[in-house]
Chain A
Amino acid sequence: MKRTPLIRALAVGATLSLVAACGSDGDESSDGKTTISWWHNSNNDPGKAYYEQVAKDFEADNPDVDIKIDAQLHEDMLTKLDAAFQSGDVPDIYMERGGGELADHVEAGLTRDLSESSADLISDIGGSVAGWQTDDKTYALPFSVGVVGFWYNTELFEQAGITEAPTTWDDMYAAIDQLKAAGIEPIAVGAGDGWPAAHYWYYFSVRECSEEVLTDAVTSLDFSDECFLRAGEDLEELIAAEPFNRGFLSTPAQEGPTSASGLLATGKVAMELQGHWEPGVMQGLTEDEQGLGDKTGWFAFPTVEGGEGDPTAALGGGDAWAVSADAPDEAVDFVNYLLSEEVQKGFAERDMGLPTIPAATGSVTDPALASLIEVRDSAPYVQLYFDTAFGASVGGAMNDTIELMFAGEATPEDIVEATQTAADAEK
């Protein structure tokens, strides 16, 4: 009969697929050790090697723990994390950017409350931890927090005859005129990606709004205060002065030499408003891997006359270690170890970021990063990037309308209205 081989073939096929399905199941450790999975984005040396060493040190002190590191490219990690949150199979230790995003994860019961198990560290870190708290509970420990400011090319400033970095917007407009007169494009902005343009509105809001208004807005999602309108008017005025690079509406933030960071790194524009990662990004965009090198300068977002915000307040954000809800207790121990003075010092010495434990901040060797820490630590508070703080949905609507303003198609009222509409949908 011909039927038999057919059925046998089917049976073999079915068995093979079963075997294949079983082959991927290997999460449980066979030797009785507790396995902790850890995802991070330091996929280059020195960070990658350092974290491997840190894990080994911890394993040496805790012989029954096995740490499985997965170092990924940042963008890949974000995509894979989204998928992990959807499936509920979240790595034991992963990175959280805080704000509304974290609040959503907390609400979905994906993230572990660290308030008690890491109480000492939380008080060590101080104010920076606020972005990772909801309802007075702490869900992640920030290990690097930076601030946004203007990165500039000292040589081009000199060439234009600008002797001092601007501190007020009057200075800034004067500097823009001087640069233009010298034939230099003043500011690069990656409005094609949205968020670099949005940072301007965020920062004008930080200058125009008092801390109370901003803190309230995060919880009440109420943007009716006049100061948000004034921020839009300030931005409109800046855009009208035409300080931005040609084609800024389609310029990406940091991909390739014609991106905003690339233009700054190659000396095509004089400055760019960017986060603390800018020197590293610029190094990756230049052939000699030096970025702007010793021509790199930094100054804080200029103050706005009559603004209700503290003139030294800063806009910023960072990364924190979070522990997934169903992770073993050892994962919490490891996160506490990651925030220990020892590990944070090593982190600082390798210029991997801006450490948050005060005892480690002195170990940063890069002068640009060291000066940022100074600014960060002397700021009365660091306002988390609005799009992170308010969550992806509100942040996305906000960024989109700010981008429209850069294209001359939205008014200050439009920004507030679009943001409020998206926020009301969240309530």
Chain B
Amino acid sequence: MDTKLKHHPPKWPDRFLEFYCNPSRLEQIQGDAYELFYMNLEERGVGYARFRFFIHVLSFFRWGNIRRTRPSYQTYNHGAMFKNYMKIGWRNLLKQKGTTFISIFGLAAAVGCCLVAYLFIEQVWFKGMHQENKDEIYQITYTAEGENGKTTFGTIAEPISEMISEALPNVKAQTRIQIDLPILIHKNESYFQRAQYVDPGYMEMFTYSMLYGYPGALNEPEQVILTEELSEKLFGDTHPIGQEIALVSNGEEKIFKVGGVFKEFNDMEMFNFDLLVNISNRSNAELTLPLKDAWKSELWTFIQVENGTDLGDLNAGFAEMVKTQNKIDPENPYLSIQLESFNDLVKNSENIERGVVSFLAVAPQLLLAAIGTFILILAVFNYINISILMAFRRLKEIGVRKVIGSNKGQLIAQFLSENLMVCFMAIVLGCLLAAFIFVPGFNDIASKNLKIDLFNDAYIWLFLGAMLLFITLVSGLYPAIYITSFKPINILKGNQQIGSKSLLTSVLLTFQFTLAIISIVAGVAFVQTNYINSNRDWGYTSADKIIVNVPSSQDYIPLKNKLSALASVTEISGSQDFVGNWIREEEIVFQDEKYEISLLNAEATYPELLDLKLKEGRMFNPELISDTQESILVNEAFLDRLGLSFPVDEKITIDSASYAVVGVVEDFHTVFFQMSIEPMAIRASPDTTFNYLTLKMTPGTAASSMQAVKKIWHETIPRGLFTGKLQTEVFDHEFNDVKGVSNILLFSAILAVVLAALGLFGLVSLNMNSRIKDFCVRKVFGADLGDLSMKLAKRYLIIWGIASLLGGGLSIVLVSTFLNSFFAFNSGVGVIPLGLGLLVLFLVIAGTVSSQIWKIVRANPASILKAE
């Protein structure tokens, strides 16, 4: 028998046998082969036995013995098995309602956030994807030699559209598209609206659902189609069809009838407009332009080809167009004309100059995606932690199952199917949360029009499916594999360490806390910055001033005269741009060096009227001719940039005229705090007309005089659009934007804290349940409350400490980078946001632990220890 212990059948043939042999025959065959091996071993020695074993294995390699695709033993009923998985899973979830709720709610919140981020990104990248004919629509583009080599342009010479029907075969529909901002006048109110001038073919090519009217309305040149939003704004509840509106473009007024109203758009539409107008109504359309000028005017041109057209057939036509164009307009030679598929307009937007899509808004996409991922990670970690702990309470079940004969795969399938159920519920709940809370809220904040469109949007199903799979696998795979890898004998003997202290749980919790800290710090720091900025000194007095726009130079003098006659107006002054808005940049020369600075052309009285604070020198004196012709005022940043100090002896050259610096004003904010204060010069321009008038009112009358100012303005300029506002309101738009961002950040911070709290609560309570006897014994022996709390809380406090260091450090780096990219003026990550972040988390831990300790305090040790 000694030899038997020493020698074994050769490994490789044995494995080969196991590999090919039909499992139902393996035992019989392998057993015989072994038996023969040991027989041969005793009779003839090792070498021979091995050789014979090998021969036997080969000789067993027969058709009847070989495993084929479907081993006969695997004919058990899969349906019943999965049903069983689901049933057990469902019972398990019901048994743990609290923790199940925590998991589902957390995941659902994360799914909701991700859905919002997804919708936002989708509406940027999949614009126009709901158009029925999208595969047949193409934009005609041309390539020409530009400044930076070959450039493709999205616009094309207008007369080319007239050649399409002759030169290009298989074209079903065509349209030119031009965007304009005419003034819309209805019932003596005027509005700026985005009008899109198109050919009637536009409505054949693109499909919109109509609320009123019919898509063919544009065939009548004097009809327009409005969006639902505009129609509601203009007509309210009255039926809009047949109503009259006037459009003023280039000073010409035309009357139109409303021929149709579109249903509300969502953000998936390629074109943004408020009304569609037949292109024959453009202000210059009736003028017969010289041929060459007609070719100079460029616009977007789209064609729709017959289904299945070979695009190569169109090339001959394009070549002819290029030839015609280059003959008529040789200064702007085309290299080629080609088509850009409607589906690729967004994707290729970077390569097309003057294309339909020019702005992809990458930063907000990144921000939202980051927040979504943040929350998702938090929720998934929660779930991993909780599901590991939950699984530890089922160790016996796992042990018994293993002993009975479940293999690892089946146990993993059991756990994953439970996960799948949780994730499925989370996704359904997440969609509901998103549809009724997150998306409307986000639309409100970001003035967007996102919608979850389950019926038309195939991508969203893909996204949800991918989320389901991803969350299930990421959150379930590790716990399932970990738990099922235990040896049944250890489990049943009770040797298996109950791993609530496992390293992984601590790491995940640390990570969660860190994320929570970062998001709190980001939210608080942003709000703090907003608060400080809203109280920031603008560098001048904004009260009691009204800014009024002047549409054209001939209106300037009459408007100025009439407004000065108003009783509450104390002073009036004109300027080219106004403080609080973008100011044009100009190049100046000083000591042969060139600088880019902001240059504000204004009347000599403007700086004083605005109450700019004089630092050195003097303001302009309107009486001095030299002041209105060769003097400038500069701000402090200007001196810093040029490295000067006040009495500036040398002159500064602007536009080849030289100017003397007569005074220095303190820095003031012309644009919002996102930008730093740029060097700026104010030139008392000799011009007599300006684009804006600023009125200084008697104190306290600015807001109440607005109506009167507007009335005078409309009397003077009947066909104009009044965009006047109070000087105090110039940053309102930016404040709103920033407020939106800070709301989003605060929301995500709150969500992160809630998720971390829920996860912690789940962990602590599970932990507590498994150690309640331990605590009761301690209580019986007289441990006091403090000791018990410390015992339970110690681990979490250590984690809190580590997370504070990590989160604090990371947030100082990350959040201040973020703030700096957002604001030139920010409060940075100071003590308040950091302290608040750490404190909130500490309170969460303290609250959770004390809620569990309360259980012990109230518990009667006798009844708990007696059980079992």
Partners in one complex: no
Residues of B within 8 A of A (CB): none
Residues of A within 8 A of B (CB): none
